[in-house]
Structure 1
Amino acid sequence: MSQALAILKQYWKHDSFREPQEAVIKSVLEGHDTFALMPTGGGKSVCFQIPALLQQGICLVISPLVALMRDQVQNLQYKDIKATALTGGLSLNDSIAILDNCQFGNYKFLYLSPERLQNDWIVERLKNLPVNLIAIDEAHCVSQWGHDFRPAYLKIAQLREFFPKVPFLALTASATPRVQEDIISQLQLKNPQIFTKSFYRTNLAYMVFETEDKLHRMQQILRKNPEPAIVYVTNRKSCLETAHHLENMGFTATYYHGGLAPKEKARHMMLWMEEKAQVIVATNAFGMGIDKANVKTIIHLHLPQNLENYYQEAGRAGRNGEKAFAVLLHNPSDVLHAEAQFIKVLPDKVFLNSVFTKLCNYFQIAYGEGIEEQFRFNLHHFCTKYDFPTLKTYNALQFLDRQGIISLSQEFSEKITLQFIIPSKEVIRYMSLHPQDEPIILTILRTYPGIYDMQTAFNAALIAKKSNHSEAEVLSLLQKLKEKDLVDYIAKSNDATITFNDVREDERTINRVSKYLAAQNQLKIAQLKAVLAYCCDQKTCKSKLLLGYFGESQKQDCGICSYCISKNKEPLSEGLVSEHIKALLKNQKLNSREIQEITQFPKDAIIFALQQLLDEEVISIDTDNLYSLQ
């Protein structure tokens, strides 16, 4: 293994391997099929990159994440290692050129999405490559019990027929025992060497707090821990709004979501990476391939969809080994919000069949026809025409894409971007002079609070509906405002592309895949229940709960999570809290929040003590909710 260590030092500048990287690399070099479960931050990519560099030939890396593929290819190229990616959306000529380079250009790595294995001509070309290793990243996608099942992964096993002596390396950061068994079975791994790194993070404190005022609690946490932080939210609007709230609180903050242009994503990320911004507010589009060692705090303002995603996102804190915090803030209303966002938008078989049938009608595809036909597609127009809910329809189309019935390019974004380029007082002046335009403009300003600061993705149909106008009237007004130099308004054609991979057979088509749909829906419901159980369980160490979910047992409590801290605290006496409050109110009037901030006592204890003191007429409260001694 001295050569492997030399490669690690040469290209990655590390003096030693992390556990269990060395054992995984050794297994692969000895020609064994290998399964590695390594939680996020464990350095999975090194486990296939180093063996590939130590051998003649090329390594096939199968991954579903285009962004991560591009990131890894760029990092390898930066190290002067020849690597390329065969992603969806490439033209036939580009794909052929990439495969030619791999066959004749001494390339070391070819990244490709699993869907590319559904193209027979690509598989034929792969047969001619001098493959030394087949690495399957995000291997949980091969299992229908995994949180991101993709049937295209089932095609990977066919590579065994063409490369019988080439070892398979399956890698995942999150898999329950059931999923681990399914991965090994579905990939047909032969007597695999199995390596699992513990999910236990000794330096990461999992904190769960129920709070009505999440922004205030977030402010307290970030003031106490001024090092780099990530705040995760579930949608783009919250992303922008939360960043603005943080700036108004005095923090340096930026944001990151999937709707930003690539240059904007890079700019915002670098502000945080270079610590010009303490906090980056992000959707789950942020994080893949990000390795910033000194992240102190991860805060989730909304409930995550599942514990697999939560563990990966929380695990981006404390990679330098120092104590770090993964904080989840929740309140009772979050349950309804999560169910609406994650469960009620799941398509059932009837809805899926309706979407598929209408999709074929939309493109005038006759029964028994349509295979390999390709069309430009506007999701908004399609949903408006057939009165389909957008998110539920998108989920249905994504499911059809994952099943290989269609191929859906991921180009969905708003068709229009808009930014007001004059001060708010000038906008108010304009509305006073043009009262007929006021309803639409006010609706825009209320819907998009950040529209003065940046180009904002704009939904004309939503504004039309909210303002009780037609979409044509909204677009006409935007054009007028642009001509008067009041707004920067860009309308661009960014329709997605849909390719039909099979003939139209309506219900017969859907019947073939409906069992997967039912299983996936049941899984997502069970996963959300697990999230709620994690939040609401007040009798178990949070680290133990997470480990148990992933099939790992731990005898000792972690000692640093929110449960362990509350358990180890001596119970507060009512008298102690009351005496502290009376001492504070001798000199000044204070509200309940200020009292809590000064004393750092639990909110419930403060409220109970205040009520007792009011009942005893020791203190009084005025119309501004300020308490004082009688």
Structure 2
Amino acid sequence: MSEALLLLQKHWKHDSFRTPQEEIIQSVLDGKDTFALLPTGGGKSVCFQIPALLLNGICLVVSPLIALMKDQVQNLQSKNIRAIALTGGISQDEVSAILDNCQFGNYKFLYLSPERLQHDWIVERLKQLPINLIAIDEAHCVSQWGHDFRPAYLKISGLKVAFPKVPFLALTATATKRVQEDICTNLALENPVFFTKSFTRDNLAYHVIKTEDKLFKIQQILKKNPQSAIIYVRNRKSCIETSQQLNQLGFKSTYYHGGLPSKEKEKNMQSWLENKVQVMIATNAFGMGIDKPDVKTVIHIQLPENLENYYQEAGRAGRNGEKAFGIILTNSTDIGHTKSQFIDVLPDKKFVKDVYVKLNNYFQIGYGEGFNESYAFNINEFCSRYSLSIVKAFNSLQFLERQGILLFQNESTEKVSLQFIIPSKEMIRYISLNPQDEPIITTILRTYSGIFDVETKINPNLIAKKSGSTEAAVIKTIERLEESHCIVLHAKNNDSCITFNEVREDDLTINRVAKFLAHQNELKQNQFQSVIDYISNEDTCKNNLLLAYFDEETTADCGICSYCISKRKSNPVENTTLILQALGKSNLSSREIENNLQISSEALIFALQLLLEHHKIAINSNNKYYLL
């Protein structure tokens, strides 16, 4: 049995690799640059984590998503594998301390964002590390044609010069052929070995269902399929409202969005993972690192922004290989509503500059200042002060983040700042009386040298790692110090946090990235048109439409999507006859007809349209059909 397989069984509890994980791992172990396109659920992280464990040294993982970095670090740490992340919003001293730990602390994984590579001193420090593999996650971000282009990814190719003998592994779940070529070129991959897995999910049935009563349709779906489900919605308000509605109807559900405190996120997540609740109502903040095999149904009750996101989100169903469903519920007003929420709120150059300037003024940052400064931020308060559209301002902040200008952590965070207010001699006495607190207190004092003079922001997670403790233990120690009047403590929960990665330069900053903004807006408009084409096309297999979008050719229909089923089962002549007979007895709504006659939604709509066009029936003010 191979060493790689033994590691998979030991740490990941799987008996065998999925195709083509083992081949990717071997390519990396052979020292070759490798490109891997593994659609969602394909197990990308294993492809770099296992070879990194087999090689001497440390694996450098470049990832754009803080939540994903934290999730993977926690998962590795739970397996007693030493991993650490360079996330945003930490001081240069803290970054230096983390890199010291990597150099001397026997770490196996260092995660960092691509923006970190824009600092030459960090690259110089990385050169001192025994790096055995460089893994680039979400590699489509390096392409202007990818759905989440980030210019900072273009800096990654510089690591090829710094580490000429270290293999690169580029990983992505969604990339057209054009994007794949861009990835290899922009990362300077040398004769890369390609591994691409088909986007086809044989067990996943894609359905587009037209219905004016989405809640009723959700009831039908969940009753028919009582297994684990995810319902994706567009915003936080919809999360809470939809969960409340389903709970009132007798379904056990919970919800997840980026604004929830971490403890509530964890609690809700565990309830769903342990099947204490059937349904998770979520925004697209939910899903990264989630690999729940028994999800039967993923429902989108509003149109997705693009097909890349839809494919990944729907693909969280059926990972156990059993038949599962990816469903979009849509009605006559969806396209207009979604366009107003996704396309009409795309900011232009003037608006982005306005937000950037006002943001700096909001925090009283002078020209040429602000580098690496972090601020608690409430977007509602900010937009209210300057009379800005919240959605448009949010999109502007996201764009500025992708360009590496700032870091916008749009989730609940806790900021801790403190100052010691007793003399150092008294502190020594306190430690002698409380020896259990000594490792944490001495770590704080060594890490933040000026903490006796000024109130200082601290990172409890970093203190925990450096002191060999836990974050909870650090917080308890700090609370005891406050109770003993040794420190002044301020701990504050914030909706979000802004960290500036560059000094304020206004025109110079915005002019530099304006071309990317125009390109991004055009790309988003084209992507949304692809969503419209997907839901509107009634002449093609839904699976084939998705495959064609990702440049994958196929000749056979899937046989299980909404189009294939309607083609096989729909008999318009028979259905219109049945409807006329039913309406001969009483006037009925579309829901009543569907329930009484057991006709699929798609077939019912088609039959009703035929009868209306031929003036056989009409609809009254109570939304009931009647014979003419």
**TM-score scaled by length of structure 1:** 0.81
1:114-513 mapped onto 2 (5 Å cutoff): 114-365=114-365, 367=367, 371=371, 377-411=377-411, 494=494, 496-513=496-513
Percent sequence identity over matched residues? 63
Q: 1:372 & 1:342 partners in 2: Cα distance?
A: 31
Q: 1:90 & 1:288 partners in 2: Cα distance?
A: 23
The alpha-carbon distance between structure 1 residues 499 and 413, as it changes in their structure 2 partners (threshold 3 A), is closer
The alpha-carbon distance between structure 1 residues 613 and 303, as it changes in their structure 2 partners (threshold 3 A), is closer
C-alpha displacement of 1:404:
2.6
Query: Which range moved further: 21-30 or 2-11?
Result: 2-11
User: After superposition, what is the alpha-carbon deviation per residue over 1:399-455, rounded to whole angstroms, capped at 9, x for unaligned?
Assistant: 2232233344445799xxxxxxxxxxxxxxxxxxxxxxxxxxxxxxxxxxxxxxxxx
User: After superposition, what is the alpha-carbon deviation per residue over 1:333-364, rounded to whole angstroms, capped at 9, x for unaligned?
Assistant: 11111111111211111222222333344455
C-alpha displacement of 1:372:
5.3
Q: 1:392 & 1:4 partners in 2: Cα distance?
A: 48
The alpha-carbon distance between structure 1 residues 610 and 393, as it changes in their structure 2 partners (threshold 3 A), is closer
Instruction: Indicate if the aligned counterparts of 2:33 and 2:192 stay in contact, CA closer than 8 A.
Output: yes
Q: 2:606 & 2:517 partners in 1: Cα distance?
A: 47
Instruction: Indicate if the aligned counterparts of 2:36 and 2:196 stay in contact, CA closer than 8 A.
Output: yes
The alpha-carbon distance between structure 1 residues 614 and 10, as it changes in their structure 2 partners (threshold 3 A), is same
Instruction: Indicate if the aligned counterparts of 1:578 and 1:613 stay in contact, CA closer than 8 A.
Output: no
Q: 1:552 & 1:365 partners in 2: Cα distance?
A: 50
Whichever residue aligns with residue 556 of structure 1, its letter is A
C-alpha displacement of 1:96:
2.8
Give the secondary-structure state (helix, strand or coil) at the position aligned to 1:71: helix
Equivalence for 1:599: 597
Whichever residue aligns with residue 208 of structure 2, its letter is V
Whichever residue aligns with residue 604 of structure 1, its letter is I
Whichever residue aligns with residue 25 of structure 2, its letter is I
Whichever residue aligns with residue 179 of structure 2, its letter is V
User: After superposition, what is the alpha-carbon deviation per residue over 1:221-260, rounded to whole angstroms, capped at 9, x for unaligned?
Assistant: 1111111111111111111111122122221111111111
The alpha-carbon distance between structure 1 residues 107 and 500, as it changes in their structure 2 partners (threshold 3 A), is closer
Q: 1:509 & 1:538 partners in 2: Cα distance?
A: 46
Instruction: Indicate if the aligned counterparts of 1:592 and 1:606 stay in contact, CA closer than 8 A.
Output: no
Q: 2:578 & 2:344 partners in 1: Cα distance?
A: 49
The alpha-carbon distance between structure 1 residues 173 and 210, as it changes in their structure 2 partners (threshold 3 A), is same
Give the secondary-structure state (helix, strand or coil) at the position aligned to 2:534: helix
Give the secondary-structure state (helix, strand or coil) at the position aligned to 1:573: helix
Give the secondary-structure state (helix, strand or coil) at the position aligned to 1:318: coil
C-alpha displacement of 1:66:
1.4
C-alpha displacement of 1:589:
8.8
Equivalence for 2:8: 8
C-alpha displacement of 1:514:
0.8
Whichever residue aligns with residue 65 of structure 1, its letter is L
Query: Which range moved further: 220-229 or 34-43?
Result: 220-229
Instruction: Indicate if the aligned counterparts of 1:578 and 1:609 stay in contact, CA closer than 8 A.
Output: no
Unaligned runs of 5+ residues in structure 2 are 415-490
Equivalence for 1:68: 68
The alpha-carbon distance between structure 1 residues 275 and 190, as it changes in their structure 2 partners (threshold 3 A), is same
User: After superposition, what is the alpha-carbon deviation per residue over 1:69-127, rounded to whole angstroms, capped at 9, x for unaligned?
Assistant: 11111111121111111111234443333222211111111111112222333222211
Q: 2:567 & 2:228 partners in 1: Cα distance?
A: 29
Whichever residue aligns with residue 603 of structure 1, its letter is L
Query: Which range moved further: 83-92 or 100-109?
Result: 83-92
Q: 1:522 & 1:278 partners in 2: Cα distance?
A: 39
Q: 2:71 & 2:257 partners in 1: Cα distance?
A: 17
Give the secondary-structure state (helix, strand or coil) at the position aligned to 2:263: helix
Unaligned runs of 5+ residues in structure 1 are 415-490
Q: 1:622 & 1:69 partners in 2: Cα distance?
A: 56
Equivalence for 1:480: none
The alpha-carbon distance between structure 1 residues 142 and 592, as it changes in their structure 2 partners (threshold 3 A), is closer
CA RMSD of aligned residues (A): 3.0
Q: 2:237 & 2:149 partners in 1: Cα distance?
A: 28
Q: 1:6 & 1:607 partners in 2: Cα distance?
A: 60
Instruction: Indicate if the aligned counterparts of 1:134 and 1:166 stay in contact, CA closer than 8 A.
Output: yes
Q: 1:530 & 1:201 partners in 2: Cα distance?
A: 20
Instruction: Indicate if the aligned counterparts of 2:305 and 2:342 stay in contact, CA closer than 8 A.
Output: yes
Q: 2:609 & 2:343 partners in 1: Cα distance?
A: 37
Q: 2:570 & 2:410 partners in 1: Cα distance?
A: 54
Q: 2:397 & 2:589 partners in 1: Cα distance?
A: 51
Whichever residue aligns with residue 594 of structure 2, its letter is Q
C-alpha displacement of 1:270:
1.6
Query: Which range moved further: 370-379 or 303-312?
Result: 370-379
Whichever residue aligns with residue 600 of structure 1, its letter is Q
User: After superposition, what is the alpha-carbon deviation per residue over 1:176-222, rounded to whole angstroms, capped at 9, x for unaligned?
Assistant: 11111111111111111111000001111100111111111111111
Instruction: Indicate if the aligned counterparts of 2:377 and 2:494 stay in contact, CA closer than 8 A.
Output: no
Whichever residue aligns with residue 186 of structure 1, its letter is N
C-alpha displacement of 1:615:
6.5
Query: Which range moved further: 357-366 or 263-272?
Result: 357-366
User: After superposition, what is the alpha-carbon deviation per residue over 1:124-156, rounded to whole angstroms, capped at 9, x for unaligned?
Assistant: 221111100000101111112111111111121
The count of corresponding residues between Structure 1 and Structure 2 is 550
Equivalence for 2:558: 558
Query: Which range moved further: 172-181 or 492-501?
Result: 492-501
Equivalence for 1:450: none
Whichever residue aligns with residue 270 of structure 1, its letter is Q
Whichever residue aligns with residue 593 of structure 2, its letter is I
Whichever residue aligns with residue 231 of structure 1, its letter is I
C-alpha displacement of 1:299:
0.6
Equivalence for 1:57: 57
Q: 2:610 & 2:353 partners in 1: Cα distance?
A: 59
C-alpha displacement of 1:498:
4.2
C-alpha displacement of 1:625:
7.6
Is 1:88 the counterpart of 2:82? The answer is no
Q: 2:216 & 2:78 partners in 1: Cα distance?
A: 43
Give the secondary-structure state (helix, strand or coil) at the position aligned to 2:337: helix
C-alpha displacement of 1:608:
6.6
The alpha-carbon distance between structure 1 residues 501 and 249, as it changes in their structure 2 partners (threshold 3 A), is closer
Instruction: Indicate if the aligned counterparts of 1:541 and 1:563 stay in contact, CA closer than 8 A.
Output: yes
Whichever residue aligns with residue 158 of structure 2, its letter is Q
Give the secondary-structure state (helix, strand or coil) at the position aligned to 2:528: helix
C-alpha displacement of 1:48:
0.3
C-alpha displacement of 1:497:
4.8
Instruction: Indicate if the aligned counterparts of 2:25 and 2:51 stay in contact, CA closer than 8 A.
Output: yes
Equivalence for 2:481: none
Q: 1:610 & 1:376 partners in 2: Cα distance?
A: 59
Equivalence for 1:466: none
Q: Where has structure 1 moved over 6 Å in runs of 4 or more?
A: 583-586, 608-616, 620-629
Instruction: Indicate if the aligned counterparts of 2:138 and 2:173 stay in contact, CA closer than 8 A.
Output: yes
Instruction: Indicate if the aligned counterparts of 1:302 and 1:334 stay in contact, CA closer than 8 A.
Output: yes
Q: 2:300 & 2:576 partners in 1: Cα distance?
A: 30
Instruction: Indicate if the aligned counterparts of 1:230 and 1:281 stay in contact, CA closer than 8 A.
Output: yes
Whichever residue aligns with residue 553 of structure 2, its letter is S
Give the secondary-structure state (helix, strand or coil) at the position aligned to 2:69: helix
Q: 1:554 & 1:409 partners in 2: Cα distance?
A: 41
Q: 1:583 & 1:365 partners in 2: Cα distance?
A: 71
Q: 1:504 & 1:625 partners in 2: Cα distance?
A: 58
Instruction: Indicate if the aligned counterparts of 1:31 and 1:166 stay in contact, CA closer than 8 A.
Output: yes
The alpha-carbon distance between structure 1 residues 112 and 148, as it changes in their structure 2 partners (threshold 3 A), is same
Q: 2:349 & 2:622 partners in 1: Cα distance?
A: 55
